[in-house]
Amino acid sequence: MEYRELSVPGAWEITPKQFGDPRGVFLEWFKAEKFEEALGHPLDLQQANLSVSSAGVLRGIHFADTPPGQAKYVTCPKGAVLDVVVDIRVGSPTFGQWDSVLLDDTDRRAIYLGEGLGHAFMALEDDSTVMYLCSTGYSPGREHGIHPLDTEVGIDWPTTARDGSPLTPLLSDKDLAAPTLTEAQAQGLLPTLEQVTTHLESLRTR
């Protein structure tokens, strides 16, 4: 299992070792020891989510108030998604920047997004299944969004599906109504780098 930090600090791509034989494939998609070795603190698992999406479905950009925030460890056991992390930490040198990892049922990578980061993905195939390990449970009052098509963020979303057919973004009503990054900052919804750093330091000293 290999960890590679993305261009947005606090987000990591995880590539597992796959063991195949005539029966199929086996792999470890999460291992606490390797996680803590790479990040310096454990993943406090409080909730596990699963979503199934049609090709073109676009979910995000989602984030939670920090502290406590909501860290996510995400993989795609069936289908394919482009998974995106956005730096929404006010005061961060990479504020407003994004990076991505292709999660699919071939390489079977995962992505980890630490507290205080925005998360979104687009499904590239019908019935694409995404599984998330989350550090906190769902709490509607402290969860927010940024419009995933915000031109200021400028995410380069795919325009073709896995089979080569054209993709049309399909958003929920909630995500369609989400503010832009600038609007979210003006509304005081975004975490600061200081808040996130202080929270991460508390995790490392537990």
Digit-coded pLDDT (tens) for 91-115 = 999 999 999 999 999 999 999 999 9
Mean of the pLDDT values across residues 127-133?
A: 98
Tell me how far apart the alpha carbons of residues 103 and 112 are, in angstroms, rounded to a whole number.
Answer: 12
> What per-residue confidence (pLDDT) applies to 180?
98
Read off the pTM: 0.95
pLDDT in tens, 174-203: 999 999 999 999 999 999 999 999 988 888
Residues 6+ apart with CB under 8 A from 165: 55
Contact 119, 6 (CB under 8 A): no
Q: Residue 11: enclosing H or E segment and its boundaries?
A: strand 11-15
> What per-residue confidence (pLDDT) applies to 203?
85
Q: What is the number of other CB atoms lying within 10 angstroms of the CB of residue 65?
A: 19
> What per-residue confidence (pLDDT) applies to 81?
98
Contact 89, 192 (CB under 8 A): yes
> What per-residue confidence (pLDDT) applies to 196?
93
**Cis peptide before 22, with omega less than 30 degrees from 0?**
no
Cβ-in-10-Å burial (0-12, 13-18, 19+) of 205 comes to exposed
The 3-state DSSP composition of the chain as helix, strand, coil percent (nearest 5) reads 15, 40, 45
To the nearest whole percent, how much of the chain has pLDDT over 70? 100
Structure tokens at 202: 């508390």
Helix (H), strand (E) counts: the chain: 4, 13
Confidence of residue 117 (pLDDT cuts 50, 70, 90): very high
Judged against a pLDDT cut of 80, whether residue 206 lies above it is answered with: no
Mean of the pLDDT values across residues 39-43?
A: 92
| Ordered alpha helix ranges (H), the chain | 32-39, 173-176, 181-186, 193-204
Is 199 in a helix, a strand, or coil? helix
In this structure, the strands spanning 98-104 and 2-5 are: unpaired
> What per-residue confidence (pLDDT) applies to 116?
94
Positions annotated as catalytic residues are 62, 132
Nearest to 84, CA basis, from 149, 144, 39: 149
- In the predicted model, what is the mean pLDDT of the chain? 96
